[in-house]
Chain A
């Protein structure tokens, strides 16, 4: 047993200075079978599944910052799969399936809580498009149900459904199987499990270049700590993906935007589920620590600054206060921004690239956290087999040339 009441007590007596490291701190070896660029949940998860499911244990994860410092630690932890198109529904539902057993799989409590995600309909158009979503979801085996305004209020008592409300609630779509998880635990859990299987996690080691041979195939990556050779490189670098791809001579249809979120001071349990309002652009849940976790939209311009403008947060909080008047006097504790890579059709790019040996998992935009285990597993599959899994086969780079887009942007027009 790794942790017990006794170990907690003895470590308390020593001032919590002697807890063992969760993963090995290593110097990079000269060569690996696979290098994953980007040590977020997606990248660490891919390394874990390569080692666990596909028997490739000579793997390195190269991270420019520290584990849990990027978008994995900067999101609002919402997990759902009620996407409109068949391809997206399969992709995100695959992730939710993996979320289900993840704590047991990693022996690390990721606190996946199926508290339900409720999306509010404020206009007749919302009602019609949500009901279309619900039908499409149910045909795809994704749970989603329609609630009347009163049923929505019963499910989430702080909701203001009075007819005189600034944003009247006409009903809601509820995915009961959706919810939240503890984001740091996901990164740490994957890191610990992968490290135990032999994966090297190399932090504070930015990739400076990608070396290709005379035939164009991948030979390895240049890093701050020197050259590391590998015939296969998987890039899972979120907002920095297009920069890494430029190093390999590829231009990707990605733009990097700041996405902000904020939390309130912690309070006792008051909010039982996740509520999203796409029309007025606000989403909110309460963490197990007690903080209200509130997500805003992206800023309008591209940026790598990991911060955004205050008026974006003001807009979101104004909407939250109208929909949940009980929160009007809550004080906010901190806000932050992450850099999200957005594709033209708002669907991810997950698969092979034109460069032999180079694989990519990017373009998750504002909704990457929910996909973590699914994206990780599919990236590992694609790298191990050198061909995409049927679930991620439609999410190619080529779709922007062929026109076979998966246009969730127009279909959902949602906050993620």
Chain B
């Protein structure tokens, strides 16, 4: 079980308190009817699925109930950082350097 730090509660809590909610920073197109079928399908179905750092959403369902974002390494499952929804993407290179320094 992984430990997750909720940026709202400010506490590290076990995974069973949380719900995974897919890739983060996926923006709904402003004018869907202007999109081609391919563009709409890409918005609906195509996800990054990276081997490495992944920007993703979590919800602290059994805590504050709020959605937040995280960067997690999909090879080790370790969280690099969690941050509040609505804040910009953190710099990935800095995070990776920091994680590597810690090792």
Contacts and interface: CB of A to CB of B under 8 A. Distances in A.
Given A311-B15, A401-B41, A305 B47 contact: no
B15 A305 contact: no
Chain B: number of interface residues, binned into ranges: 20 to 34
Nearest to A345: B45
Interface string B16-28: 1001100000000
A252 B16 contact: no
A256 interface: yes
Given A300-B20, A401-B38, A309 B1 contact: yes
Interface string A378-411: 0000000000000000000000111000000000
B82 to A, nearest CB: 13
A251 interface: yes
Interface in B24-74: 37-38, 41-42, 44-47, 49, 51, 54, 56, 72, 74
B77 A303 contact: yes
Contacts of A302: 49, 54, 56, 74
Contact of B16 (A251, A255, A305, A311): A311
A19 interface: no
Interface in A252-268: 252-256
B45 A344 contact: yes
B75 interface: yes
B103 interface: no
B2 interface: yes
A304 B41 contact: no
Nearest to A240: B51
A300 B42 CA distance: 22
Contacts of B19: 300
Given A256-B49, A309-B2, A301 B20 contact: yes
Name, among B1, B42, B56, the residue most crowded by chain A CB atoms within 10 Å (CB to CB). B1
The DSSP consensus for interface residues of chain B is mixed
Contact of B75 (A301, A305, A400): A305
Nearest to B19: A300
A402 B37 contact: yes
B76 interface: yes
A349 to B, nearest CB: 11
Contacts of A344: 44-45
Given A253-B46, A300-B20, A305 B51 contact: no
A310 interface: yes
A256 B49 CA distance: 7
A75 interface: no
A243 B51 contact: yes
A401 B40 CA distance: 8
A255 B44 CA distance: 13
Nearest to A405: B45
B1 A305 contact: no
A200 B46 CA distance: 34
A252 B46 contact: yes
B7 to A, nearest CB: 17
Interface in A266-316: 300-305, 309-311
A305 B20 contact: no
Interface in A79-133: none
Contacts of A303: 74-75, 77
B74 A305 contact: yes
B75 A253 contact: no
Contacts of A255: 47, 49
A304 B1 contact: no
A310 B47 CA distance: 27
A304 B16 contact: no
A184 B19 CA distance: 35
Given A309-B2, A309-B15, A310-B1, A251 B42 contact: yes
29 contacts: A240-B51, A243-B49, A243-B51, A251-B42, A251-B46, A252-B46, A253-B41, A253-B46, A253-B47, A255-B49, A256-B49, A256-B74, A300-B19, A300-B20, A301-B77, A302-B49, A303-B75, A304-B51, A304-B74, A304-B75, A305-B74, A305-B75, A305-B76, A400-B41, A400-B45, A401-B37, A401-B38, A401-B41, A402-B37
Given A400-B44, A400-B45, A402-B37, 18 more contacts: A242-B49, A243-B49, A251-B46, A253-B47, A255-B47, A255-B49, A301-B20, A301-B56, A303-B75, A304-B51, A305-B75, A309-B15, A311-B15, A311-B16, A344-B44, A344-B45, A401-B37, A401-B38
Interface of B: 1-2, 15-16, 19-20, 37-38, 41-42, 44-47, 49, 51, 54, 56, 72, 74-77
